[in-house]
Amino acid sequence: MSTAASSSSKRLPLILVLIAALGGGWWWHQHSQNAKEAAARNKGGAPAAVGVAEVRAMDAPLQLGALGTVASAYTVTVRSRVDGQLEKIHFQEGQLVKQGQLLAELDARAYQATLTQAEGQLLRDQALLENARLDLARYQQLASQNSISKQQVDTQKALVKQYEGTVKVDQGAVAAAKVNVDYTRITAPVAGRVGLRQVDPGNIVRSSDANGVVTITQTQPINVVFAVPETSLTSVLQAAAADKSLRVEAWDRDNRGKLADGALLALDNQLNTGTGTINIKARFANAKQQLFPNQFVNVKLQLGVRKDAVVVPTEAVQLGKTGSYVYTVGADSTVSIAPIKPGPVSGHHTIVEDGLKPGQRVVVDGVDKLRNGVQVKVIDRAAQAKTLGADKGPRKRDGKPSASQAG
């Protein structure tokens, strides 16, 4: 038993070595075969098909993209300034109203009665004042004739002053009562769109009600608030210094349709240290009412134009371990890696600060299969798409139209 176990233990390493050698040989055969096939594809008659674009020099508009939120220029919760029963509503929910337009009416009878009382008190005290003034005039005449003492004249003067003060108080009471009567007519403090009604006629409305009667949001003009990163702040400040009303565009969620054009309104006075961004506000006329409060939009802030900038399509720019690069196509139809220094994005193009010259060709389609020095075949994608579109039409069979054509 011990001899058999010893011989088995000696044969085991030899078997493992043989298995490893066979596996390594198979891997090397497969690797060599794949390398030969790849070399045959690259050096043979099957170059990689790519789409190319020409490096251009152009006046490139600079813009900064961000996600913004539409914010009303004014949002007002309309509350009653006096307590009372709501009698009438003069608006429809969602309606556009003008500043000063009547929105609702409260029961004004109690306040009208208070006004009447104040006016009556004023008339009574005005009569007393007038009588005191007449007495003062008579006393002054008698005093000039030495018929009464000077003390009586001074006392009458004080009485006149007292009644003048009383009349002033009464006039204030009348004015306050008139204001309360006016407050029973609730008007729109700003122009805008009213929201949903918060209270129905017949209910008691109080000035302390938190929800008020209705909310008004101003939509013309309207603002959009968005944030840009700290790294873009210098560009924004330079552009704003050159043009105080930088153009701002608002686009829909899919970034396919432009909703409105506006202008830069203001920059916040400090950076948000939590997000590393600064808030910017733009104003839009919103003539077509396409912007709605709290709506999310894509914002494009125009920062001017870079004159004679070297640009390439953005899809041509690749990012590797050593930085950004593009594949350039030479006269012999081989590609080369060209390191570049990319600049700002301008629409569908990227400005190249260094590394390319106008007239060079760069690969924009098919870059995933490329390596340095690979032979390529340039394909006109636009012409190919037109050809495919034409081929999708109904075909004839045996010289006769198809059933769809015959129908």
The per-residue pLDDT for range 362-398, each reduced to its tens digit, is 999 888 878 888 888 888 765 555 555 555 555 544 4
Strands 48-54 and 376-378: parallel
Number of domains forming the structure of the chain: 3
Are residues 118 and 85 part of one domain? no
Residue 259: CB atoms within 10 A of its CB come to 20
Please check whether residues 103 and 118 belong to one and the same domain.
Answer: no
Strand residues in 73-145 grouped as ranges (E): 75-78, 84-89, 96-97, 102-106
Categorize the per-residue pLDDT at 28 as very low, low, confident or very high, splitting at 50, 70 and 90. low
Supply the CATH number for residue 118's domain: 1.10.287
Q: Is 12 within the bounds of a domain? A: no
Q: What is the mean pLDDT of residues 233-246?
A: 87
Where is pLDDT greater, at 152 or 400? 152
Query: 366 vs 13, which has greater pLDDT?
Result: 366
Instruction: Share the mean pLDDT of the chain.
Output: 85
- Mean local confidence (pLDDT), 13-32: 59
Q: How far apart are CA 348 and CA 264, in angstroms?
A: 23
Token readout for 112 is 């009208």
Q: Which of 235, 263, 239, 236 is nearest to 249 (CA)?
A: 263
Provide the edge-to-edge strand list for the sheet that holds 102-106: 185-187, 102-106, 84-89, 204-205
Supply the range of the domain harboring residue 207: 74-107+184-217
pLDDT tens-digit map of 148-169: 899 999 999 999 999 999 999 9
Residues 329 and 383 in one domain: yes
Convert the pLDDT of each residue in 87-115 to its tens digit: 999 999 999 999 999 999 999 999 999 99
Helix-helix angle 109-144:150-183, to 10 degrees: 160
> Confidence band (pLDDT; 50, 70, 90) for 45?
low
Burial grade of 42 (CB within 10 A; 0-12, 13-18, 19 or more): middle
- Find out whether 366 and 50 touch, Cβ atoms under 8 Å: yes
Claim to verify: residue 57 and residue 143 sit in the same structural domain: no
Q: Pick from 228, 231, 225: which is nearest to 262 by CA?
A: 225
What CATH number corresponds to the domain at position 256? 2.40.420.20
Check if the beta carbon of residue 78 is closer than 8 Å to that of residue 213: yes
d(CA 193, CA 312): 46
Amino acid residing at 315: E
Structure tokens at 192: 């805008």
Query: Are residue 118 and residue 83 in the same domain, yes or no?
Result: no
Distance CA 249, CA 283 (A): 10
Q: Do 79 and 199 have their domain in common?
A: yes
The residue out of 130, 163, 182 marking a domain boundary is 182
Do both 175 and 189 map to the same domain?
no
